[in-house]
Amino acid sequence: MIRTKLAFLLACAWLVGLLPGSAPLASAAPPALPVLNGDFDKTDAAGLPEAWSAPKPEGKIGVEREGGLAYLRLVSTAPNQLVLVTQSVAIPADAKGLVVQARFRTANVKFGKDFLCDARARFAFLDDSGKSIGKSPSDIIFSAQAKTWTDIERKYLVPEGATTFRINVCLNRPASGTLDLDSIRVVPMDPAEVAALAEAPLIAQRQKAADEEEVQRLLTLPPITRPLKVSGNKLVDDRGRHVILQGVNVPSLEWSARGEQVLRSAKVALVDWKANVLRVPVHDAYWFGRGKGKETSNDAEAYRALVDDLVKITAGQGAWLILDLHLFGGPQANAVEFWQDAAARYKNHPAVLFDLFNEPTGITWELWQKGGPREVKDKKTGEVSTVQVVGMQALIDAARSTGAKNVVIASGMSYAYDLSGVLEGKALSDGGGNGLVYATHFYNWHRGWDKKFLSLASRYPILVGEFGADVKKMNFIPANQQEDPYTWMPDALGMIQKYQLNWTAFSFHPKATPVLIKDWTYEPTPFFGAFVKDALDGKKFESTRLR
């Protein structure tokens, strides 16, 4: 009861402007909870933000000023530091949901040893005894690419019995970085939003059950897919009709022996989004039962059976499945071993195409084509060893040695982006099969489309095996080189449609960036997924300029 009364008194004090740092709100705005010194205008004698505590004083914590603007600055002065400030906010008794709003920027934030080691805000709901209650609220991750002031917002339902909301703003043991926070507010959520947010999990659960029931029905359908072959620079079916493959990547089998909702994703992509092709990344370690980790990753037949089910669902819809050996670097003997086995399993299956090696990189065009010895330096020891690259031609030959005539796909260099070497004497040959497609992967930082892959489009079929853009910047590419998805996506799709390229957008997974979907409700992301869904539905895009 004491905490409840305190929450009420603090809320009233804030509303009449009695608390330090408070400011009158416009009449139409919802009242904010009493985050004391949420704009960091006030400091204590030690130079720390007033009303915030630093229980583990690592790194550098202080308040900086630029003109009339005051802001919190957290600096990691050495790797693996927890640079943290915290405050607990009393929750008004009638608040059923909270909206956290923050304005921030970052500099030189580099990931630490673990996945969560970056700049973030972490939260907890506490009961009267100070114990955590309810499901842990999701963190706010402060983007490492936010070089200018950036606004962010998150919404949370208040668990029954929660009286306090704890806020932790931190550099959570990164390798390095600076986090600036101009302000943080906590606002009670509108009752209508609370009701909608509370109902969302039930709606999602019902939809998931319906999708899973439909998956079981789809698995019983007979195959109706027509076989494909290459004709000039096009793919045609056995009736001679031109086929343009248009679809999505369904990832997770490259990092998980069990996959993550892959059968359901296949159903949604093929039936609801109207894709006619799925690109399914797989890994040879799981295929042969040599996976690592705590999960059951050594059941090769269970893994293969899951891929078989994906093929069944695809073939029952009259669509195609691209089996992608999702490896990087230079193809080696394990890739040959995989295709000798996988090609035999899906030999001459009308629905299955073979994507021989995901993203070749770090090798010469000669090694890409024919293979040969390559020196590799160990990053830890510095020792140099020699590995044998087998080359893309050897992978085609391995597949064809099984008698499989399925269309094969060969990705270019530089993580599959660059196909220019094909026109410079490094073309591959397909002995006795249904033909060869060349694949490129490009994203919203790639330039030189014409030279890198469009120059081939008049002579060979081209698959854009991966493409996409995300509002969340990639840490390994300078932020100013990553174009806004809202301007990039229409031009990318317009170019693909103009040149009649085959394509599979990456990715149909809520965490494998760039993301086509927001979460497992499969709602399309507005910056990427919505454009792709429209294209699959027949919308035409205009290509205003090449990159």
**Can you spell out the DSSP letters for 364-431?**
-HHHHHH-EEEEEE-TTT--EEEEEE--HHHHHHHHHTTT----EEEEBBTTBTB-GGGGGTT----S
Residues 176, 266, single domain; the answer is no
- Cα separation, 119 vs 110, in Å, equals 9
Question: Which range marks the domain in which residue 148 is found?
Answer: 2-191
Same domain, 322 and 181: no
Is 545 a domain residue?
A: no
Q: What is the pTM of this model?
A: 0.74
Residues 178 and 245 in one domain: no
Question: What gap in Å lies between CA 112 and CA 173, rounded to an integer?
Answer: 6
- The answer to whether the Cα torsion of 251, 254, 259, 262 is positive or negative is positive
Does position 245 have pLDDT exceeding 90, yes or no?
yes
Residue 33 pLDDT: 67
| 185 to 18, 21, 22, 100, 339: CA distances (angstroms) | 17, 12, 11, 6, 56
Residue 375, CA distances (Å) to 172, 363, 380, 383, 394 in order: 38, 10, 15, 10, 20
113 domain-assigned: yes
Residues 113 and 259 in one domain: no
Mean of pLDDT values over 507-527: 94
* Within-domain flag for 544: no
Whether 29 is in a domain gets the answer: yes
Q: What pLDDT was estimated at residue 295?
A: 58
Q: Are residues 351 and 210 in the same domain?
A: yes
Number of H helices, E strands in the chain: 11, 24
The pLDDT of residue 333: 94
**What pLDDT does 2 receive?**
34
The count of structural domains within the chain is 2
Q: If pLDDT is split at 50, 70 and 90, which confidence band does 348 have?
A: very high
**Angle CA 264–341–407, to nearest 5:** 70
Same-domain status, 369 and 501 = yes
Q: Which residue has the higher pLDDT, 116 or 184?
A: 184
Residues 372 and 445 in one domain: yes
Neighbours of 82 (CB within 10 A): 17
**pLDDT of residue 385 exceeding 80:** yes
Contact 113, 83 (CB under 8 A): no
Distance between CA atoms of residues 505 and 510, nearest Å: 13
- Given this model, what pLDDT does residue 31 score? 58
Report the CATH number that the domain containing residue 39 is assigned in CATH: 2.60.120.260
The closest of 447, 444, 441 to 501, measured between CA atoms, is 441
State CA 354 to chain mean position distance.
Answer: 24
Query: Is residue 267 predicted with pLDDT exceeding 50?
Result: yes
pLDDT at 17 over 70: no
- Last-in-domain residue among 149, 165, 191: 191
Here the tokens at position 268 are 């949604």
The reported pLDDT for the residue numbered 404 is: 97
Is 196 within the bounds of a domain? no
**DSSP codes, 227-283:** PEEEETTEEEETT--EE--EEEE--STTT-SS-SSHHHHHHIIIIIS--SEEEEEE-
pLDDT of residue 406: 98
C-beta separation of 480 from 512 below 8 A: no
Q: Give how far Cα 12 sits from Cα of 8, 96, 103, Å.
A: 6, 18, 25
Q: What is the pLDDT of residue 296?
A: 60
Contact present, 469 and 514 (Cβ < 8 Å): yes
* Dist CA 285 CA 337 (whole Å): 11
Same domain (yes/no): 441, 353: yes
- Residue 445 three-state SS: coil
Q: Tell me, yes or no, whether 200 lies in a domain.
A: no
Backbone torsion region of residue 277, taken as left when φ is above 0, otherwise alpha when ψ lies between -120 and 50, otherwise beta: beta
pLDDT in tens, 387-424: 899 999 999 999 999 999 999 999 999 999 999 999 99
Do 324 and 211 share a structural domain?
Answer: yes
Structure tokens at 302: 């269970």
One domain, residues 299 and 333: yes
Average pLDDT of the segment spanning 156-165: 93
215 in the same domain as 148: no
Domain boundary among 167, 191, 215: 191
Q: How many CB atoms lie within 10 A of CB 24?
A: 9
Asked if pLDDT for residue 448 goes beyond 60, the answer is yes
Cβ-contact 376, 384 below 8 angstroms = yes
Q: Distance between CA 164 and CA 184 in Å, rounded?
A: 16
Q: What digits encode the pLDDT tens for the residues 449-474?
A: 989 999 999 999 999 999 999 888 87
The one-letter amino acid code at 524 reads: P
Phi, psi of 417 (to 5 degrees): -70, -40
pLDDT at 15: 30
CATH number (domain holding residue 458): 3.20.20.80
Residues 86-117 pLDDT 10s: 999 999 888 999 999 999 999 999 888 776 88
Q: How many CB atoms lie within 10 A of CB 201?
A: 11
Q: Which of 168, 191, 214 delimits the end of a domain?
A: 191
Pairing of strands 164-172, 372-377: unpaired
Residue 394 lies in a domain: yes
Q: Residue 543: is its pLDDT beyond 60? A: yes
Residues 185 and 266 in one domain: no
Structural domain includes residue 543: no
Q: What percent of the chain has pLDDT over 70?
A: 93
